[in-house]
Structures are given as structure tokens and as C-alpha cells.
């Protein structure tokens, strides 16, 4: 990873090997890793990449990222024409359903769009919610699926069609954890939001997409061997995954932002960090889409104040209805300080910095003053923390984040999950916040988490370096793009009988 920029200039003068089109779902959490992959394909593997930007319901953060003047040569962003979703989605439409409808409509003219490119793509990379292309695209080219979450979630997702057939009721009502083949079982309380109610479109869309991933030429994973060794072994060797014809797997992570453009106020944030002692600052943010309720935000403020630690806190306007209210509005600039307890900003001014809405997350996590990270545990944020050797206080909000929080605490050993009292109706109290903050920032447990995080950081660097496992997997995928043909599905994707008509109509 450290040598990427140094090597880029020497590679840029070489002839391009292949032209690859990349198509992420909208949302900064999907766009970021696919953009980082695109940069590496250009700078390290002599590819020409056309990055297809879904503009419908794209956020300010997504648009700023994709239209940055710092993108390398031979990486070209093409904005796809916007579509009208006003009669198809509303404010109550959940994330996966909304993304799926958006992509279904946006991709209708995909063949025409690809045919109008100066050069015909030799391969297409989609993310997990772009499986519409298997029905849409006419070109006989390899199609790879980039799974933007953990290998553990991929294992569960590939198992989901079988689970859907075997279980009659709701998965959350099962008496025991879900036994994922060859992997650590998943507690029912940790199951992702998309599978907690099988009667709604969110579940049906998710099942639709994951049941079609075996149609891919290969599946790219944003992870590496030392982070998820048991799961990667199961996906490669367990008889179940062999029986469903799981495509070749390419663990190519951790793909995280190498650089990020700073907005007008962000240099001030980094300058503030420059004046703090090494490892003394707690970074608090809940990703590109996460939002706390009013009560929860108030408790967090009091918990930070009681802990006495230094902090940088990215504050958003609270939302009592939805924990992902900012998902389609990432990068906004609303001033949320008026929602904090009266006097909080002035009382903590000497040791805390409140940032509104958005901050340069990677730059802060890399800063020597940062000692720990309060995170929603989205997979990108989890990787950014681990790859920079920073322990995590896991505060899951939605999607698969509860699984990730359990992973960083129990499997990887780089963090601790906050716990809400049952009497608080899901609200994490100020005393619990104070406790876990002091544990990680000052306690012996925190020292061990930091040691383990530094250890994983070293393995991440080695994996991404030239000749490392992730580098070689990426090179192998780029080579397949030159010679493979589109993998044809020899059997209908496993799904519920009524599923496709319900979600596609």
C-alpha cells in the first residue's frame, strides 16, 4: 500500500492491457472501495477503467469523490443518465429496496451506454446489488461481483437461499444461532436488518441478489487472509460452497482511501490534532449514513464529557425515525451543534472538537494523535480502522453492522461493543459510554486491542504490497479479464417461487 503512489508513474507509461467497466451501487460505502480498486487496476495493472456513476439519488460526497481532479489517467468517470423514481420509492422505502429499484431503472440502457464508449470493455465489475446486469447485458464478457462487506457476510449470503428453503418462520425467532457452513455461527440478534423480516421487499430484494452471485465469473472480497482466515477457508473448501458452484474468490483487501480531498474546514481539524499528545484523541463518527436519535446523541455527549478524554466528534442532526437517514445525503453541511446539551461545546472546548456532518476520516485515523475510534462498524470504516492500527469502540446502527461489531470484539480482538440496557429501549447510557471509552483509551484491555490492531496493520501492508496475496489476487483477476468469457449460469438461481415477480414487477 505504501508504495502505490511511487510505482504509479512507472506503470502509467506502459500500454494498457485491458478495458474494464466498473459499476457500483449509489452510496459512498459502495463507491469508495470500487473506486480504490479502479485506481489500483490503472496504476498497478495497466488497465483502462471506465467508472459508471449512478447519478440518481447520489450524495454530495459521492459526486465530489468521483469528480475529483486527482483521479489518475486512464480512469474515466461516466455519469449515467438520471431516472425518475418518484412513483417507485418513497421516504419509507428501505435501503436495499431503494438501491435495487434505482439500479433496475438506471441499467435499462446499459448496452447502449457501453456500445458508445470509445473502446469496448473486456470485463465488467458490479457490486452485490447490481445483479440486474446478468439479464441486461448482451456482451459476452466476464462479470465479476465485488462483495463490499465481510467474507463472513458473504458466506451467510451464499447460504441464505438454502436457509430460505429450510426455515419456515422468521430467522430471528430461531432458538439457536444460525449455523453457517464452516464458519462461526451468527447469533440471531446479530443478523443483518435485511433478513429480519422475510415478508418485506428488503428481504426479497436481498435474496434476489445473493441468489444470483454464483452467476459471476468471480467474486472480489474486500478482506485479506489474516483478518478472516476461518471464513475464507470455508468459502474455498467447504462442501456446501462447492455444491452451489461458488465462483473463484479473490480476496483483494483492504481497499481503503489512500488520499482524500479536504474541504474548507477540514485542515483546521487536522491542525487541532497536531496539537494533541500521541494516541490521546478519541474519534467519534457513524459513517456516511449513520444518525443517532435525539436521546442517544444527548447520552453520547454526556458520556464523552464524563470520560474526560480528548475527542473529535462528527455531529449530525439527530433523527428519531431512522438510523440511516443520511445514507442518501452524505456530505451535507447541516449545523447540529444546537441539538447538543446546553453548554456542552463550551465546557469541552479545551479537550474536544465538534465537527459538523463530515470529516476526513482516513486522515484522522492515520493521525498520530488518534488513539481509538467510536464507529458504527460499517465494513469500510472497520477496514480503515484496522488497516491504520486503531482499536474500535463498536456502535452498530443498521444493516450488517452488528455482525461486524461482534467480529472486531470476539474474532479479531481489536475492539469492544457498547451495550444498551434493556430498560433503555436500545439507548446506550452515558455510564456505559464512559466505561468503554476509559477501557479502550486508558485500560489494560485497550492496550491489548491496540497491540492487536498494530499487528493486523502490518499484515495488511504486506498483503497489499507487490507480491503480497492481495496484490497477486488483483493481478490474477485483471489477467482473467483478458481471456475469460462471461460465465453462463447452467441452472436457475435458487430463490423462492414467488420472489422474482414480486420484486421486479
What pairs with residue 23 in β-bridges? 126
Q: Which three cell numbers stand for residue 471?
A: 496484490
CB 414 within 8 A of CB 460: no
Name the burial class of residue 221, with classes exposed (0-12), middle (13-18) and buried (19+) by CB atoms within 10 angstroms of its CB: buried
Tell me whether residue 127 is one of the annotated catalytic residues. yes
Residue 127 β-bridge partners: 146
Residues near 41 by beta carbon (within 8 Å), at least 6 away in sequence: 20, 47, 49, 474, 478
Query: For residue 109, what are the CA distances in angstroms to 10, 208, 453?
Result: 37, 21, 45
Of residues 430, 416, 428, the one with CA closest to residue 385: 416
Catalytic residue among 19, 44, 127, 201: 127
194/334 Cα distance (integer angstroms): 29
- Kindly write down the DSSP assignment for every residue of 251-313, as one continuous string: E------S-----TTHHHHHHHHHTSPTT-EEEE--TTT----HHHHHHHHHHHHHH--EEEE
Q: How far is CA 20 from CA 52, 308, 481, 489, in A?
A: 11, 51, 8, 21
Alpha-carbon separation of residue 31 from 13, 24, 153, 192, 464 (angstroms):
27, 6, 19, 21, 20
Q: Would you tell me how many other CB atoms lie within 10 Å of the CB of residue 198?
A: 17
Q: What is the CA radius of gyration of the chain?
A: 22
Catalytic residue (one of 19, 30, 152, 209): 30
The Cα 406–Cα 152 span in angstroms is 11
Q: Which residues of 50-84 are buried (b: 16+ CB within 10 A; e: fewer)?
A: bbbbbbbbbbebbbbbbeeeebbebbebeebeebe
CA dist 413 and 26 (Å) reads 32
Q: Which residues are catalytic?
A: 30, 127
Amino acid at each position: 500500500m505504501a508504495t502505490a503512489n511511487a510505482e504509479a508513474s512507472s506503470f502509467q507509461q506502459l500500454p494498457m492491457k485491458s478495458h474494464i467497466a466498473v459499476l457500483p451501487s449509489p452510496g459512498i460505502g459502495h463507491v469508495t472501495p470500487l473506486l480504490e480498486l479502479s485506481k489500483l487496476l490503472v496504476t498497478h495493472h495497466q488497465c483502462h477503467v471506465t467508472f459508471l456513476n449512478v447519478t440518481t439519488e447520489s450524495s454530495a460526497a459521492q459526486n465530489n469523490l468521483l469528480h475529483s481532479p486527482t483521479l489518475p489517467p486512464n480512469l474515466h468517470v461516466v455519469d449515467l443518465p438520471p431516472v425518475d423514481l418518484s412513483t417507485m420509492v418513497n421516504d419509507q422505502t428501505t435501503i436495499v429496496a431503494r438501491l435495487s429499484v434505482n439500479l433496475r431503472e438506471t441499467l435499462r440502457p446499459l448496452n447502449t451506454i457501453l456500445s458508445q464508449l470509445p473502446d469496448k470493455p473486456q470485463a465488467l465489475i458490479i457490486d452485490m446489488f447490481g445483479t440486474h446486469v446478468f439479464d441486461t447485458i448482451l456482451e459476452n464478457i466476464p462479470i465479476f461481483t465485488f462483495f463490499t462487506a465481510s467474507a463472513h457476510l458473504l458466506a451467510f449470503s451464499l447460504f441464505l437461499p438454502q436457509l430460505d428453503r429450510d426455515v419456515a418462520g422468521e430467522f430471528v425467532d430461531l432458538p439457536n444461532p444460525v449455523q453457517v457452513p464452516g464458519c462461526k455461527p451468527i447469533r440471531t440478534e446479530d443478523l443483518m436488518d435485511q433478513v429480519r423480516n422475510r415478508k418485506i421487499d428488503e428481504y426479497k430484494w436481498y435474496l434476489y441478489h445473493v441468489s444470483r452471485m454464483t452467476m459471476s465469473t468471480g467474486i472480489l472480497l474486500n478482506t485479506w487472509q489474516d483478518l478472516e482466515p476461518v471464513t475464507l477457508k470455508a468459502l474455498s473448501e467447504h462442501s456446501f460452497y462447492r455444491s452451489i458452484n461458488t465462483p473463484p474468490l479473490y480476496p483483494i483487501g483492504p481497499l481503503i482511501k489512500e488520499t482524500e480531498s479536504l474541504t474548507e474546514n477540514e485542515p483546521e481539524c487536522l491542525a487541532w490534532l497536531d496539537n494533541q499528545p500521541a494516541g490521546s484523541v478519541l474519534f467519534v463518527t457513524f459513517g456516511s449514513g449513520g444518525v443517532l436519535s435525539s436521546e442517544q446523541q444527548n447520552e453520547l455527549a454526556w458520556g464523552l464529557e464524563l470520560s474526560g478524554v480528548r475527542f473529535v466528534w462528527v455531529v449530525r442532526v439527530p433523527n428519531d425515525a431512522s438510523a440511516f437517514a443520511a445514507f442518501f445525503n452524505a456530505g451535507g453541511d447541516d449545523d447540529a451543534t444546537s441539538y447538543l446539551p446546553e453548554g456542552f461545546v463550551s465546557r469541552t472546548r479545551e479537550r474536544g472538537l465538534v465537527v459538523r456532518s463530515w470529516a476526513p476520516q482516513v486522515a484522522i485515523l492515520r493521525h498520530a494523535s488518534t488513539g481509538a475510534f467510536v464507529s458504527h462498524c460499517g465494513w469500510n470504516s472497520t477496514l480503515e480502522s484496522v488497516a491504520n492500527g486503531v482499536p474500535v469502540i463498536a456502535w452498530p446502527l443498521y444493516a450488517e453492522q452488528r455482525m461486524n461489531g461482534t467480529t472486531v470484539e470476539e474474532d479479531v480482538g481489536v475492539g469492544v461493543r457498547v451495550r444498551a440496557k434493556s430498560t433503555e429501549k436500545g439507548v446506550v447510557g452515558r455510564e456505559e459510554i464512559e466505561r468503554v471509552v476509559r477501557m479502550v483509551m486508558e485500560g489494560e484491555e485497550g492496550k491489548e486491542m491496540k497491540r492487536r490492531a498494530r499487528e493486523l496493520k502490518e499484515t495488511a501492508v504486506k498483503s497489499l504490497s507487490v507480491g503480497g496475496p492481495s496484490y497477486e489476487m488483483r493481478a490474477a483477476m485483471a489477467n482473467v479479464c483478458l481471456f475469460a468469457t462471461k460465465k453462463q449460469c447452467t441452472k436457475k438461481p435458487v430463490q423462492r417461487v414467488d420472489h422474482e415477480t414480486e420484486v421486479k414487477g
